[in-house]
Structure 1
Amino acid sequence: MIYYMAVPISGFSKKTKQQKIDWLTSTYLANDPTASLTLQKYWNSDAQLQKLHDDFIENTISNYYLPLGVAPNFLINGELLTIPMVIEESSVVAAASNAAKFWLERGGFKAEVISTQKNGQVHFNFFGKEGDITSFFTEIKPTLIESLATLQKSMQKRGGGLLDITLINSSEALEGYYQLHCTFETLDAMGANFINSCLEQLAKTFEAEAHKYTPFITANQFPEIALSILSNYVPECLVRAHVSCPVADLATNNIDGATFAKKFVRAVNIAKTEPRRAVTHNKGIMNGVDAVILATGNDFRAVEAGVHAYAAKEGRYTSLTDARIENDIFTFSIELPLALGTVGGLTTLHPLVKFAFSLLQKPNAQQLMKIVAVAGLAQNFAALRSLVTTGIQKGHMKMHLMNILNQLEATTSEKEKAVIYFTTNPISHSSVVSFIDTLRA
């Protein structure tokens, strides 16, 4: 039922923050007198810090807080780290911490960066002869590269920049569709702005030179730029992580190591076989991945899109992790495409992002790739360990108990009694409600 009378508004972005809030509350939230106060409660008391947050995006009205937690005891390539994680899901940090502790006693995590190339495309239409566009590209390629000289100057000084440009004929899939496929090395920067600037310059040069090319003029068939944009699918920007130990060392939760390993490998193989299971399996991996990406000010939406595309690279969606037993040695591994940055964006602006990088001992982009991959592997290990032993809900609902108690506005005394009671009793929303009602009665 609509109980408000909204009308379009112009010049909204030019209003002050308070004017925006006043308009929102008077237009949509007239029945909620606490709305404005709620927004203001989440403003930072440090005006300069709040102004910094306000400038991150347009039309800021408040700050939306998520918990920043830490998972200690991650031994990665011999270095002991505590990993910062930003996430709202109850059991994620606890699960990561448990997995880290489990593998700390079994040699820790190993990780390696396989490749670091990123890419983008100039997409264009051309309905003339394929031979003409091929010849033109061969002739114009040096000019295209030269046109980036100014844009690339700083990046090339650091050892990065454009790596190559290739012409791709995609007209069989879509009539008249071609691409300039461009590969880049952006070092410690995620590189989105650099890559997009380069692509737009390449498009301008390409189109300008095309109108001077005699075969195009004669045939009156010129290439037309459709769009120029980087790709978040980065299968050439890969990192791999794994854990390994003798099968006998996997004994856990009253299950011998051999039985546990067999159950674990079977669970992974189910996720490799069944897409419906693979989606949830990989979502659990991304619980760990996204939490670290958020903590370090990187773009988790870009990573999510690229990772899930990579999971379907063979034409069917499947598990991102692999498990095997060979010669009584258990190995659990992950391979992910990760385009991350440790400079630029929020990495040097957000105070808590700065804290996260300091906590991680100021990693470069390749080191961060390893840390993020390990966080995803740890999260998946913890989830599968629960699934093949006690079940996923026991640990999850234990962590979720406090959320339910807070929803019920339980007192400190009520929370203490609930924690004791539900140590030995099944947890559900209804059982917690019933318990609190009984206490209050």
Structure 2
Amino acid sequence: MTKAISGFSRLSKTEKIAWLTSTYFENPTQATQVLSSYWNDDKKLQQLHDEFIENTVTNYYLPLGVAPNFVINDRIYTIPMAIEESSVVAAASKAAKFWQDRGGFKTTVLGTTKVGQVHFTYDGDASLLTSFFESIKPQLLADTAAITKNMEKRGGGIKDITLVNKTQAVADYYQLHCTFETLNAMGANFINSCLEQFATTLKAGFEAEARFRESGANLSVIMSILSNYVPDCVVRAEVSCPVADLSEKNIDGAQFAKKFIQAISIAEEEPYRAVTHNKGIMNGIDAVILATGNDFRAVEAGVHAYAARDGQYRSLTHASVDDGIFKFWIEVPLALGTVGGLTKLHPLVKWSMELLENPSAQELMQIVAVAGLAQNFAALKSLTTTGIQEGHMKMHLMNILNQMEATDAEKQETVTHFKTNTVTHSAVVSFIEALRS
């Protein structure tokens, strides 16, 4: 049977599933049942999910958990986290509890500027183009008035437009580098609409100029698009306490601080470690971004570019001890929104926003940054003390048991056994096999 198909998008949902299951699966009935088992019985809710994207065949579930006890600027939050990885929510919760008794998290929004660019080529005299840009810049702003009107009423809008000469990097390449304030909206549609109008005005203005016709110069717009690199849309989150307050159980505060800072120093200088280090931060950040209906792919791309902004990929977090005070902080770019997109459509996104007491975009930036910092603290604390696997594998235990289709009784016995024994996949398998024999 051929696996190519014409007009797939025009098929009904039932027809799409019938073609997929009959073409790719040994048991089409069973494959169809897997898909239908994830449909929502509420037809209106299911239709909402069907219309989020194209060619929808079912819903894909991720666990939505919560991490309580986050004290952020003296206010207590319970943070929603959508993620499939074991131990992330538990680690965040543990870090929140640890810092709850040590002053909590402090946050500051350092900037909220977002960026978009019109990319174009021009093969004429650079000084002529610069003069033209200065003369047409007021028109660029005037022609977007209808687009920016409502945003400006709320205090946002276009911040600036500059002409950038990039011909040393790419032949004839120039750009309009544009900055925006979009307030509580992530702003992608707003920014892209402005950029496309800039491109239209730029091209029309160029073609109307006799001096360009006389010179024989050409201008061609390549594309107009926002950037997910937002180094001026940054939030800082930090924790601090006396070194002595880091002591707990058999951990000495001074020794803990020393090893912790050494671990950070390694991630600041060694890219192989920095990537995994920052992945742990993104465990916390992405989980909250997903739960609140924001674009985790855009945030990931921007964050990792920011981590390499000086030419080497480095840790996003930093630590120090000054005059006996331990400090741990992160500065991270986060272009987020609390209006538009899924924020008013997806029921669980709305639920998550209400759980966070309907934050503004700036407040959400702070909450998300704290989740990343907390996750990183928990990971480094484990790495530099007990090792990462002890806690992670205990959280992963239930996944192993479910893979083995363990009964409730087997799960109970296994959990009890591994309270005092090291969890590894092979150890769990051996224990279950012994129980069953």
Q: Which amino acid aligns with 2:414?
A: A
1:426 aligns with 2:422: yes
Q: 1:366 aligns with which of 357, 362, 365?
A: 362
Structure 1 residue 438, shift from structure 2 partner: 0.8
In the alignment, the residues of structure 1 paired with residue 197 and residue 23 of structure 2 have an alpha-carbon distance, to the nearest angstrom, of: 44
Relative to structure 2, which stretch is displaced further, 232-241 or 248-257?
248-257
Give me the TM-score of the superposition, normalised by structure 1: 0.98
Deviations 1:26-76 (A, max 9, x none): 111134531100100000010000000001000110000000000000000
Give me the TM-score of the superposition, normalised by structure 2: 0.99
Q: 1:242 aligns with which of 234, 238, 242?
A: 238
> Contact between 2:22 and 2:28, CA under 8 Å: does it hold in 1?
no
Partner of 2:330: 334
1:208 aligns with 2:204: yes
> Contact between 2:81 and 2:290, CA under 8 Å: does it hold in 1?
yes
In the alignment, the residues of structure 1 paired with residue 189 and residue 80 of structure 2 have an alpha-carbon distance, to the nearest angstrom, of: 26
Q: Which amino acid aligns with 1:60?
A: T
Q: Which amino acid aligns with 1:56?
A: F
Q: Which amino acid aligns with 1:73?
A: N
Partner of 2:94: 98
1:252 aligns with 2:243: no
How many residue pairs were aligned? Answer: 437
Aligned ranges 1:139-150 → 2 under 5 Å: 139-150=135-146
Partner of 1:383: 379
In the alignment, the residues of structure 1 paired with residue 400 and residue 384 of structure 2 have an alpha-carbon distance, to the nearest angstrom, of: 26
CA RMSD of aligned residues (A): 0.8
Partner of 1:10: 6
In the alignment, the residues of structure 2 paired with residue 62 and residue 124 of structure 1 have an alpha-carbon distance, to the nearest angstrom, of: 41
In the alignment, the residues of structure 1 paired with residue 201 and residue 293 of structure 2 have an alpha-carbon distance, to the nearest angstrom, of: 34
Task: Report the secondary structure of 1:34's partner residue.
Answer: helix
> Contact between 1:12 and 1:20, CA under 8 Å: does it hold in 2?
yes
Aligned ranges 1:3-82 → 2 under 5 Å: 5-82=1-78
Deviations 1:337-358 (A, max 9, x none): 0000000000000000000000
Partner of 2:310: 314
Structure 1 residue 268, shift from structure 2 partner: 0.4
In the alignment, the residues of structure 1 paired with residue 427 and residue 311 of structure 2 have an alpha-carbon distance, to the nearest angstrom, of: 45
Partner of 1:354: 350
Partner of 1:121: 117
Deviations 1:414-441 (A, max 9, x none): 0011011111222111111111111111
In the alignment, the residues of structure 2 paired with residue 425 and residue 32 of structure 1 have an alpha-carbon distance, to the nearest angstrom, of: 43
> Contact between 1:6 and 1:28, CA under 8 Å: does it hold in 2?
no
In the alignment, the residues of structure 1 paired with residue 307 and residue 245 of structure 2 have an alpha-carbon distance, to the nearest angstrom, of: 30
Structure 1 residue 6, shift from structure 2 partner: 2.7
Runs of 4+ with >4 A deviation: none
Structure 1 residue 380, shift from structure 2 partner: 0.2
Relative to structure 2, which stretch is displaced further, 419-428 or 239-248?
419-428
Task: Report the secondary structure of 2:29's partner residue.
Answer: coil
Partner of 1:230: 226
Partner of 1:180: 176
1:84 aligns with 2:89: no
Aligned ranges 1:289-300 → 2 under 5 Å: 289-300=285-296
Relative to structure 2, which stretch is displaced further, 330-339 or 5-14?
5-14
Partner of 2:260: 264
In the alignment, the residues of structure 2 paired with residue 368 and residue 6 of structure 1 have an alpha-carbon distance, to the nearest angstrom, of: 48
In the alignment, the residues of structure 1 paired with residue 249 and residue 372 of structure 2 have an alpha-carbon distance, to the nearest angstrom, of: 23
> Contact between 1:83 and 1:292, CA under 8 Å: does it hold in 2?
yes
Q: 1:120 to 1:332 in 2, by over 3 A?
A: same
Structure 1 residue 7, shift from structure 2 partner: 3.5
1:196 aligns with 2:177: no
Partner of 1:285: 281
Task: Report the secondary structure of 1:159's partner residue.
Answer: coil
1:400 aligns with 2:400: no
Structure 1 residue 215, shift from structure 2 partner: 2.0
Task: Report the secondary structure of 2:67's partner residue.
Answer: strand
